[in-house]
Structure 1
Amino acid sequence: MVLRLLAVLFAFCVAAPAGAAELVMLEQPACPWCARFDAEIAPAYPKTEEGRIAPLRRVSIVEPWPPDLAGIVRERFTPVFILVEGGSEIGRIRGYPGDDFFWPLLDEMIARLPARSRAASAD
């Protein structure tokens, strides 16, 4: 019991800072659309403004659900991209629509972040 409590506390400490936005990517092994995202978007993502505002965090749907995402609804299919800030969902993209559509959809979600979060994360 004590070890489990310590593990939960540790998870909260290593998660994104309170209030910080992150893009949670739900994935699973052998997901062809996840692989396509990895080829088309993932290498450049951390170098983009969007990547600085909402760093990518990968979560496998076949692994135990992270405690800090307890308030976020799980999905059964992948990929799903969930913009999270301060433990609350801002929006989600179900599936990977290709790079031509991914960026505008992500920008729409990021626009819903409070201005202070966008400005602080982009610095």
Structure 2
Amino acid sequence: MRMTLLALAAMTGLWALPTRALELLMVEQDGCVYCAAWDRAIAPIYPKTEAGAAAPLHRVDLRADPPEGVTYARPVLFTPTFLLIDAGREVGRIEGYPGEDFFWGLLEKMLAERGALSGGS
């Protein structure tokens, strides 16, 4: 009886497996001067922003495989590369870090497109 109810709930959409929330992956490598610049300017404040709350940051080494359950749209070739991940799938990408305005502007645009921001960061 219990298995029948679970199967019925799954088939009708009343019960679904949990999905991963939005997350921001920073693909980096040792010796990357642009990664270091991002670390100095953005890393200390990122978790305190609306963007940081909407898409928590996770770091990945360039030479490592994607985290379990995550699919990149295409290979990552440059560092830093920031990947916006939704339910394990890449939905946005920022390649490089030429400065704060560039980073915040592009990230906020990607998050707003996903309905993840109420205003600004």
Please confirm whether the aligned pair reaches a TM-score higher than 0.5, indicating the same fold: yes
Query: Counterpart of 1:100?
Result: 101
Q: What amino acid sits opposite 1:69 in the alignment?
A: V
Counterpart CA distance in 1 for 2:65 and 2:102 is: 30
Residues 49-88 of structure 1: matches in 2 within 5 Å? 49-88=50-89
**Partner-residue secondary structure (3-state), 1:69:** coil
For 1:1-123, list aligned pairs within 5 A: 18-113=19-114, 115=115, 118=116
How far apart, CA to CA, are the structure 2 residues paired with 1:82 and 1:65?
A: 11
Provide the residue aligned with 1:11 in structure 2.
none
CA distance in 2, matches of 1:89, 1:112: 14
- Higher CA-based Rg: 2
Does the CA contact (< 8 Å) of 2:66 and 2:72 recur in 1? no
Q: Gaps spanning 5+ residues in structure 2: where? A: 1-17
Distance in 1, Cα, partners of 2:87 & 2:64: 22
Distance in 1, Cα, partners of 2:92 & 2:72: 13
Higher helix share: 1
CA distance in 1 between partners of 2:33 and 2:52 (Å):
22
Moved more, 63-72 or 96-105: 63-72
Name stretches of at least 5 consecutive residues in structure 1 with no aligned partner: 1-16
Number of aligned residue pairs: give it. 100
Identity value in percent:
48
Is the CA contact (8 Å cut-off) linking 2:71 and 2:90 kept in structure 1? no
TM-score normalized by structure 2?
0.75
Return structure 1 stretches of 4+ with deviation > 3 angstroms: none
Instruction: Choose between structure 1 and 2 for higher RCO, CA contacts under 8 A separated by at least 6 residues.
Output: 1
Q: CA deviation at 1:71?
A: 4.5
On the 8 A contact 1:82/1:91 being kept in 2, the answer is yes
Q: What TM-score does the superposition give when structure 1 sets the normalisation length?
A: 0.74
